[in-house]
Amino acid sequence: MSHNIIVVGRQKTGTTGVYSLIKSALAPMAQEYLFSFEPNRFDPLEQALRTSPQLSVMTKIMYKNMANFPVAAFDRRVMTVRDPRDALISTLLFKPLIKSVVSTVEMSEHERFLKALRRKERDPGSISVKRLMRLGNQVGYKKWRPGTEELLEMTDFARANEFFLVYYEDFVDDRVDTLAQYLGLPLNAQQSATPAWLSHISRSKGHGAWRDWMTPEDVEFYRPLLKEAMDAMGYEDDWELNPEPSIDPATSSRYVADAIAKRRTELAAGRQPDTGHSAATLATLHSRATDGGANDALQLAQALDQPEAGMMRWPRSALHWAREAEMQGVQAATDVRARLERELADTPPPRA
């Protein structure tokens, strides 16, 4: 009997954190699960499950891709929701870090945005969130819209399909008992960690910061836009701002600047023809592969099969990851898997 689990939500609502929390609880049963992080379609998962019907799947997807997944295939359905005002602030600070943006926008344009953030930190009332959003659009960041229609649609969809709602505010405050009861799993937020390759996603891990960021201009603009969605999601129509607002650079300009530099370095390294297979690279490939990265599984198999000079070769582990890649539809893994199977069939097993 399968125990398929799906985590669904919009960006910046805690989906990655909730996914990591559930995955950590499933660690003792990892041999019974196929984990998949943000697939766009259900087809590769369906193919993997046909190949290994004894497995269950645990996946996290963006709500915009929900139409590509059969709800009925999942026994446990989780949807994350977040105060849209806090989600707005997180989106503002995440826009520069999107892969398609971070390295294509010139650093001089990134600096324009960072300069405005530093001004906001010195004097929170000096520039509105609305104006910062507009500046982000001007420098080349992905445009953001409130998306109230999608929020209302999500709420209706969750009710109609019996999703368990996880409020971001409860999650970051470690109030996960009701989620644990719903899943039938011993969730422990203190033992859960987001994989290092997703570290750029996590920022403040708090809530209510919108009261420091927003100005009266923002309240006038965003309140009518968000009211209906907030009512549907269960958030009160309370827009009182902090009379003495304070913004920590560590979760604002410094966070963005450091993350931009790190992401640009990572992406530049990824474009090199041969970066080798360092321990850090293997760890990253392993983390991605265990989250359902089929191509990462193949790369890990190749790295273990043909290591750098002076490094040990691990053919049995390479075979495992080649099989994982092939199971998820990576055709190039077939030759690797077949060759390793032939080799190991002629090799005596290691002594106990």
User: What is the chain's pLDDT, residue by residue, as a tens digit (352 residues)?
Assistant: 579 999 999 988 999 899 989 998 998 888 899 888 888 899 888 888 888 888 899 999 999 999 999 999 999 999 999 999 999 999 999 999 888 888 889 999 999 999 999 999 999 999 999 999 999 999 999 877 767 888 999 999 999 999 999 999 999 898 999 999 999 999 987 765 555 444 544 555 678 999 999 999 999 999 999 999 999 999 999 999 999 999 999 999 999 999 999 888 877 765 443 445 555 578 778 888 888 788 888 889 998 998 877 778 888 888 888 888 887 778 888 889 889 888 888 766 655 5
What are the structure tokens assigned to 216, written together? 């009266």
Strand, helix or coil at 243? coil
What are the structure tokens assigned to 283, written together? 């760890």
Contact 116, 257 (CB under 8 A): no
Cα–Cα distances (Å) from 302 to 70, 268, 341, 345, in that order, read 33, 22, 14, 19
Cα–Cα distances (Å) from 207 to 6, 88, 183, 219, in that order, read 24, 12, 25, 17
Contact residues for 240 (Cβ-Cβ < 8 A; gap 6+): 211
Contact 344, 316 (CB under 8 A): yes
**What pTM was computed for the model?**
0.78
Distance CA 230, CA 235 (A): 5
Distance CA 277, CA 295 (A): 15
Contact residues for 287 (Cβ-Cβ < 8 A; gap 6+): 195, 196, 197
Which of 1.25.40, 2.60.40, 3.30.1760, 3.40.50 is the CATH number of 5-83+148-197? 3.40.50
CB atoms under 10 Å from CB of 103, counted, come to 16
In the chain, DSSP assigns E strands to: 5-9, 33-37, 56-62, 76-81, 164-167
